[in-house]
Amino acid sequence: MKRIAALVLGLVLIFSGCTAGGGGQTTAKPTETASAAKTRVVTDVYGRKVTIPAKVERIAAVGGAARFVTYAGAADKLVGVNDADKKYDVQKPYSYVNKDRFAKLASVGAGGSSDTPYIEELVKLAPDVIFCLQDKTFTENVQSKTGIPVVAIYPDGILSDSVYDAITLIGDVMGTQKHCETVVKYMKDCYADLQNRTKNVSASSKPTVYTGAVSFRGAHGFEGTYAKYPPFDLIGAKNVADETGQNGGIIIDKEKVVKWDPDIIFLNPGNMNLVNDDYKLNKSYYDNLRAVKNGKVYSQIAYNNNWTNIEIAIADTYYAGCVIFPEAFKDVDPVKKADEIFKVMLGQTLYKELSDAGYGFGKITIGK
């Protein structure tokens, strides 16, 4: 019995020695895995393979990326933003909800239409990752000059795959996947809801609509409009400007609006000073328009300000639906819906602040 006990004890000691790491083989693999796990590779919108830290704690945003970092629930990780991001405006909601945070951050670029990255400041800050919403050349220039990983996004449109992909990519980098899944699902649900509400409305029963005083590359008066206007397209509205065959912001001859004589007109309240100044000189022009005579002129909050403020654009779409297709949207309170959108995408309601600043929904009387 003593011999058997001694044999068993010897075997136990042999096996315990093998698993204790004394020979180095079993401890080397975890060490190698830990080393490899210090970095990972992500693919950005341009197909660039970018090596980033396994855990990203500090980020900077150039171009229009800070807005999408906010949508992705990662604004608390920002250490640098553009000058344009720091000029908060309620019509630029991501900057407004982050105004106290952004005021304390370093400036890493100019932002806006003449965007310039501040390379020295980026190098000094040394964030783990820079998010960039600009073209590929701009992106690669920032990465080559700073030596910091730059992940590019380039969302286009309002409720589109490129927008969903941009939010999802930031979530993957920052570890905010669950938040991003919630935001993207909500946006996709909005898209499906908007499409379904008007899919059975016949073309012959749709009123004609026009949007004026639209902002694009600056402020414009009544003649500034938008062909293929996303808030109209999403609900299948009959936009008279689409007859131009163009796409995006355009300046049209005001006499075309007389010819079109739309049933409903939407105007940007932020540019009503330009419309009202023109009204003083051309009262008869406006007063003879059908929509003006019938009191069917409504607000449409501008959503292009240092890139696209998607939450405002979605809210605009629901409000346009309530006006153009009242029966299809009869269960929607556009103010409550706007705040629901803001809460999901920005983390807080914002309609009151917009309305108090003169950018709310409602009828507009030209000349007042």
Q: Could you state, in chain order, the average pLDDT of each consecutive group of 10 residues for the chain (368 residues)?
A: 42 39 34 62 98 97 96 98 95 96 96 89 98 96 98 96 98 98 98 96 96 90 96 98 95 96 97 96 96 97 90 98 98 98 98 96 95
Question: Would you state the structure tokens that stand for residue 135, as one six-digit string?
Answer: 């073209």
Domain 200-356 classification at class level: alpha beta
DSSP states of 270-285:
GGHHHHHHHHHH-HHH
265: nearest Cα among 232, 219, 233, 314:
232
Question: Would you state the structure tokens that stand for residue 262, as one six-digit string?
Answer: 């739309």
122: nearest Cα among 133, 131, 135, 134:
131
207: nearest Cα among 269, 294, 337, 287:
294
- Cα dist. 290→176, 205, 208, 211, 294 in Å? 50, 17, 11, 14, 6
- Cα dist. 257→211, 252, 364 in Å? 10, 8, 18
Neighbours of 367 (CB within 10 A): 14
Report the pLDDT value the prediction gives residue 193, as an integer from 0 to 100: 98
List, in sequence order, the alpha helices (H) in the chain.
2-19, 25-36, 65-71, 83-86, 93-97, 99-103, 119-125, 136-146, 161-174, 177-198, 230-233, 254-260, 272-281, 283-287, 290-293, 310-324, 334-346, 351-356
- Ranges for all domains in the chain classified under CATH 3.40.50.1980: 39-176, 200-356
Report the pLDDT value the prediction gives residue 195, as an integer from 0 to 100: 96
Query: For domain 39-176, is the CATH number 3.40.50.300?
Result: no
310: nearest Cα among 167, 212, 198, 182:
167
Neighbours of 306 (CB within 10 A): 22
Report the pLDDT value the prediction gives residue 14, as an integer from 0 to 100: 38
Phi-psi region of 80 (alpha: psi -120 to 50; beta: other; left: phi over 0): beta
Question: Would you state the structure tokens that stand for residue 296, as one six-digit string?
Answer: 């069917």
Report the pLDDT value the prediction gives residue 36, as an integer from 0 to 100: 55
Grouping H, G, I as helix, E, B as strand and the rest as coil, residue 163 is: helix
